[in-house]
Amino acid sequence: MCGIVGYIGKENPISILIQGLKDLEYRGYDSAGIALKNKDNIQIIKSIGKITNLQEKCQNTNLISSNIGIAHTRWATHGAPSKINAHPHKVGKTTIVHNGIIENAALLKEQLVKEGIKFNSDTDTEVIAALINKYYKNDPIKAIEKATSELVGSYALAILFDDKEKLYAIRKDSPLIVGIKDNAFFVASDITAIINYTKNYVLLEENEIAEMTQNHISYYYQDKEITKKVLTADIKSEAKDKNGYEHYMLKEIMEEPLILENTLKPYLKNLDLLPNLKDYEEIHIVACGSAMYAGMVGKTLLEERAQVKVFCECASEYRYKNVIYDCKTLVILISQSGETADTIAAMRNAHSKNIDTLAIVNVKTSTIAREAKMHLFIEAGPEIAVATTKAYILQVALMALLAFKIAYDKKIIKDTKILADLQKAPCLIKEILENRKLYLKIAKEIYQSTNIFFIGRKVDYAIALEGSLKLKEVSYIHSEAYQAGELKHGTISLIDEKVPVFAIITDKQIEEKTLSNVEEVKSRGAKVIVITNNKNITNYPDIIYVPKINEFFQSLLVVPTLQLIAYETAKLRGCDIDKPKNLAKSVTVE
Ligand code: F6R
């Protein structure tokens, strides 16, 4: 949420900053801005909308010569998306860009206004700039430390001072890394923004400050100089390219077979590489959005096949609940970014009560990856499209594998033969993905609808939730997922011939029940699209058959069909597929 990039070195920073912002655009795209600095001047350029607007504006502006700059792409929190609210914000000698949210901004602003400070924007960021500037008496470290000690909330900041040829960075509860190169330093919300220039980076811990000149970097914590370890990123710079695909979403869906195979390979060879969870009496799965829906697949499998008591809840609720831990409990946190604010808070709450945590996470440098007591990496590589696809399917795969391992360790399942089905899943998914004509045909049938339903029972309901979310977030068609048996308790009043209903039917045990519910909506005029693994279900005009594999892993074969239907539908509607309106990846605010 919001992307930051900064540079100090020998080059003119403009192209580095613009390219960095483009790489971070998935984090927010309401407005963007840039500040360039030289000895005499700070020049700020801002624009509404996408980075290309800012780029155009910079091309048409007489830019100062400079070798220091900071830049920002915004996802609005305080204040509407507008040029005035776009970052950078400058107060007195202090110019900053900010990612995060300051909860006591109103209170601080009231005080600063009383002290005579005039504000131009509605943002919490301008309040931070004013506060740092208030304490700035030629000692940047002291000013940054004093000001940030008064902030309640989250922040990643890149900071310039008019009279210092230096770049400063600090973070708390929002990601920020420092990139290291000979005679140049970078700051970025995410390594992908600077990977073309360097793979060497330093992770700033909470409230550590980096002070950079062209050829030197120092780190401070609580006014004392500290040393930091330089790490090397293991991602390839090509990983962030579209590789010829029209959209990142499509590219990332198409990557699913390969990443699934690579991620699962070591565990399929040696199940003991997975954590031993069989002794936990209760498991709580906590996550947000699609990650929580992956958790719901896990919950069903753990309950049904591994006989574990499981609660699955969205992190924004869980974190504020009076959760009762009265037996040996494990909290599983699922997150692609590892930076989702609510999931982090839920994890920290669990830690404060001495509860074990296991993170299923993609970004290895993230807060959740670093703080959870155990972790499993999903190894999906950078996911750039805002709507998650490849990370989600890997989350489902790892949850299924964990459920299998617990069942096996508890001797509910006697041998590992059924893992052969998981082994062949990548190949089957590849074939499913090749069937794009069918998904396009379905998309053509639904893309003009205003309301769409997804129904299923048990694990099929969990998958329906994700199918519905994927469709609505990228195509902007209202859609809802329902437990198939629950529709008739009210919602069926919305069903008529204009409403397509996707029915997911892969669980043999309750297949007949779901088919009855399908008949109920069909007899009210709904256009039904069935997705099933049972070739004997035939009497519907639109049926997508997926191969039948063991119940533990069956959902993996349904997911790609739903993702591609969402993609094709959004494309027919001319939506901005990789950057749906109002959204941002990595939700670092509550
Ligand atoms: C939907 C989507 C979101 C995320 C959610 C959690 O396509 O991407 O619902 O799943 O914001 O994000 P992470 O997994 O980064 O914690």
Is the shortest distance between the CB of 388 and ligand 1 below 6 Å?
Answer: yes
The residues, any chain, with a CB within 8 Å of residue 270's CB and separated by 6 or more, are none
Q: Which of 22, 240, 472, 585 is catalytic?
A: 585
**C-alpha span between 236 and 164 (Å, rounded):** 35
Is the shortest distance between the CB of 387 and ligand 1 below 6 Å?
Answer: yes
Gap from CA of 455 to ligand 1 centroid (Å): 22
DSSP 204: P
The CATH number for 251-572, chosen from 2.60.40.790, 3.30.230.70, 3.40.50.10490, 3.40.50.1100, is 3.40.50.10490
Tokens 């600095």 correspond to 37
Which residue type is seen at 432?
I
Over range 35-59, report the average pLDDT: 94
The CATH classification number of 3-242 equals 3.60.20.10
- Residue 582's pLDDT band, with cuts at 50, 70 and 90, is confident
What does the pLDDT look like over 107-135, one tens digit per residue? 999 999 999 999 999 999 999 999 999 99
- The whole-number pLDDT of residue 77 equals 77
For residue 192, the tally of other CB atoms under 10 A from its CB is 20
Task: Let me know if 2 is a catalytic residue.
Answer: yes
**C-alpha span between 394 and 294 (Å, rounded):** 9
What does the pLDDT look like over 357-375, one tens digit per residue? 999 999 998 999 999 999 9
What does the pLDDT look like over 294-310, one tens digit per residue? 999 999 999 999 999 99
**C-alpha span between 531 and 546 (Å, rounded):** 7
Strand ordering across the sheet containing 542-545: 478-483, 451-456, 500-505, 527-532, 542-545
Gap from CA of 479 to ligand 1 centroid (Å): 18
Of 366, 393, 394, 359, which is closest to residue 378 (Cα–Cα)?
Answer: 394
What does the pLDDT look like over 497-531, one tens digit per residue? 999 999 999 999 999 999 999 999 999 999 999 99
What's the mean pLDDT when you consider all of the chain?
Answer: 95
**C-alpha span between 159 and 187 (Å, rounded):** 10
Domain 251-572 in the same topology as domain 3-242: no
Gap from CA of 386 to ligand 1 centroid (Å): 8
Q: Going by CA atoms, what residue is nearest to atom 11 of ligand 1?
A: 289
Task: Provide the residue ranges of all domains of the chain, joining segments of one domain with +.
Answer: 3-242, 251-572
Of 86, 125, 85, which is closest to residue 109 (Cα–Cα)?
Answer: 125
- Residue 62's pLDDT band, with cuts at 50, 70 and 90, is very high
Confirm if 463 and 415 have CB atoms less than 8 A apart. no
For residue 494, the tally of other CB atoms under 10 A from its CB is 14
For residue 243, pLDDT beyond 90: no
Which residue type is seen at 267?
Y
For residue 212, pLDDT beyond 90: yes
